[in-house]
Amino acid sequence: MKPMPASAAGPSLRELVVGSEGVLGVITEATLAVRRLPRARRYEGWSFRSFAAGCDAFRALEHEQAAPDVARLSDEEETRMAMAMSSSDSLATRAGRAYLRARGHRNGCIVIVGWEGEQPAVAARAADGARILRAHGGLALGSRPGRAWLHSRYLGPYLRDVLLKPMLTVVAALIIAQAVMKSKKVENFLVPFIVAVWVMSVMAIGYVAAEGVSLGALALTSSRTFFSALGMHANDLGRLYAVAYALLLFTWGETKDARLKTILLLTMGVLTMALLFTFSRGAFVGWVGVNVLFLVWKFNARTLGLAKLTFELE
């Protein structure tokens, strides 16, 4: 199906039919174009006094058909946060800040532009781009900011996945624990929780067995997405198992019912096996940390109990 209309005006009939996740149709086959890695890369940092000035410069680059392969414009707030997170007390950092203040860019917006390809073409395109950026008030910052962005451009999303997602899981666990503590019928929470843990654990163990994958293959970095068919990344699944294990362990430590203790112990065993199959270092560390905290808690509780008994005897 040809794209209609040919211009950018109006809706694309093809996009109404075909979508990567299904609209009116589903993509069943795709042809990819493979290109060689660029022989030359040139990334630079620029500064503009305002976000609007940066937008005008980008518009001019597009109009003069000199747009770089990578063009990123941060607003004032994002620029301030990025500079605060990457700041240091080095002489180069202080000199750079002083230079920006002297040129009237203290509260400016940073721009990252990059060109890739053959060396002569990259040099010519970068020179044209620099001419246009400078004509619209851009202040050249050199290649250091560009190289820093190229090296760390994915650290923000990774940091979000490493910190924010586990934190939300822990918050959810704390809310559940608080609700259980205030509940008059703990079994209203405990029974569905144990059932859910068994379903989650058996599903992962069964999936590994059905696929016939070896433990060595599961341990590979390339297997982090093995559990994607279950709807979660291996690291996320492992951390979820670790939080569930913590709730089960501390419940096991407090209950006096022998039958319930047995059920909880079996549930923790199956859950631990499923956790091991994720080969998530974060989950392993969490599992060990939970057991250490449990032992410390039990030791302190026993110590306080003995101290109270001694005080009463005296």
pLDDT value at residue 313: 47
Report if residue 7 sits inside a domain: no
The residue range of the domain holding 183 is: 162-313
Q: Are residues 236 and 268 located together in one domain of the fold?
A: yes
On whether both 186 and 90 belong to a single domain, the answer is: no
Cα distance between residue 59 and residue 155, in whole Å: 29
The CB density around residue 207, as the number of other CB atoms within 10 Å, is 16
Same domain, 51 and 184: no
22 belongs to a structural domain: no
Looking at residue 8, its pLDDT comes to 57
Q: Measured between alpha carbons, how far is 44 from 134 in angstroms, rounded to an integer?
A: 13
Q: Read off the pTM.
A: 0.52
Determine the Cα–Cα distance for residues 156 and 112; give it in Å rounded to an integer.
16
**Domain-embedded: residue 213:** yes
Residue 289 lies in a domain: yes
Domain annotation covers residue 80: yes
| Residue 239 burial class via C-beta count within 10 angstroms: exposed 0-12, middle 13-18, buried 19 and up | buried
Q: Enter the tokens of residue 95.
A: 């000199």
Looking up residue 107, the CATH number of its domain turns out to be 3.40.462.40
Amino acid at 92: A
Q: Considering only CA atoms, which of 110, 109, 83, 85 is closest in space to residue 97?
A: 83
pLDDT for 187 equals: 67
Kindly give, in sequence order, each residue whose CB lies less than 8 Å from that of residue 50, ignoring residues fewer than 6 positions away. 76, 108, 109
What is the total count of domains within the chain?
2
Domain membership of residue 9 (yes or no) is: no
- 192 and 290 in a single domain? The answer is yes
Q: Can you say whether residue 104 is alpha, beta or left, with left for phi > 0 and alpha for psi between -120 and 50 degrees?
A: left
Same domain, 181 and 97: no
In a domain, 228, yes or no: yes
**pLDDT averaged over 10-residue windows placed end to end, the chain, 314 residues:** 56 66 68 87 93 94 92 89 71 78 86 93 94 93 88 74 70 76 73 90 92 87 82 85 90 86 94 93 90 84 55 49
Verify that 178 and 303 share a domain, yes or no.
yes
Task: Tell me: do 72 and 143 sit in the same domain.
Answer: yes
pLDDT given for residue 219 in this prediction: 87
Q: With CA atoms as reference, report the closest residue to 148 among 50, 199, 72.
A: 72
Furthest C-alpha separation in the chain? 93
Residue pair 125/68 in contact (Cβ under 8 Å)? The answer is yes
For residues 146 and 266, membership in a common domain is answered with no
28 belongs to a structural domain: no
Q: Which residues contact 117 (CB under 8 A, 6 or more apart)?
A: 38, 39, 40, 69, 125
